[in-house]
């Protein structure tokens, strides 16, 4: 009998770093949170701090989770989170992300039109609840909060940690509700062009 699949919920936060042309900033990852699906006690986060010489340790921390996962899931991860992470790994000369099965609560939704697909809108519309019966809602960050967070101040780091962990927690309940309502297509492979596309398992033991 095979082991259960390990499904990783994750999310990243990032700040503008440089401009390669007007109104087109590049990004630097400032926080990442991970959680094994169905195990809320595993929820954890790693934040970029003023003591860090770049995001190397943050990225290595994430790789440990990613390489253990059979499937990774999040909101808009195939076009935002995963490419940003892979670009940061490339810049620092670290091992790139290999192909992985992904489940994206934005890109794998049913076909629709003229309706928002943000995580905040979906949470407000579907109203998932946590096991304790409380409604799940996205934690708001004002422009002042984001500026403080991106400057890596002590108060800003606390806000960034709360936000990125909230996003992962909320997403886990959102995905469960969308699956319950048959609103998601099956997972699909994300292949960034490194490694072998036929290798999709997370762990080899």
Angle at 26 between CA 64 and CA 48, to 5 degrees: 40
**Class of the domain covering 7-190:** alpha beta
pLDDT at 198 over 60: no
What are the residue boundaries of the structural domains of the chain, listed by start? 7-190
Q: Residue 25 has which token pair?
A: 């900033």
Residues paired with 75 in a beta bridge = none
DSSP 8-state secondary structure symbol assigned to residue 83:
H
Tell me the pLDDT of the chain averaged across its residues.
91
pLDDT in tens, 24-48: 899 999 999 999 999 999 999 999 9
Does residue 179 carry a pLDDT above 60? yes
The pLDDT of residue 204 is 32
The reported pTM is: 0.90
């Amino acid at each position: 009998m095979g082991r259960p699949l390990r499904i990783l919920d994750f999310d990243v936060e990032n700040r503008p770093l440089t401009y390669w042309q007007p109104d087109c900033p590049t990004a630097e990852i400032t926080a990442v949170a991970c959680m094994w699906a169905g195990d809320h006690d595993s929820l954890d986060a790693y934040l970029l701090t003023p003591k860090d010489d770049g995001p190397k340790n943050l990225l290595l921390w994430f790789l440990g989770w990613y390489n253990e996962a059979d499937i990774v899931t999040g909101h808009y991860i195939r076009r935002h989170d995963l490419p940003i992470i892979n670009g940061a790994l490339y810049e620092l000369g670290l091992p790139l992300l290999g192909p992985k099965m992904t489940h994206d609560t934005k890109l794998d939704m049913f076909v629709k039109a003229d309706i928002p697909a943000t995580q905040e809108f979906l949470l407000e519309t579907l109203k998932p609840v946590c096991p304790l019966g409380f409604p799940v809602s996205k934690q708001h960050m004002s422009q002042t909060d984001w500026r403080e967070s991106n400057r890596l101040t002590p108060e800003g780091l606390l806000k960034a940690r709360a936000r990125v962990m909230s996003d992962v927690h909320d997403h886990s309940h959102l995905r469960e509700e969308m699956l319950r309502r048959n609103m998601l297509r099956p997972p699909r492979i994300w292949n960034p062009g490194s490694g072998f596309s036929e290798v999709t398992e997370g762990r080899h033991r």
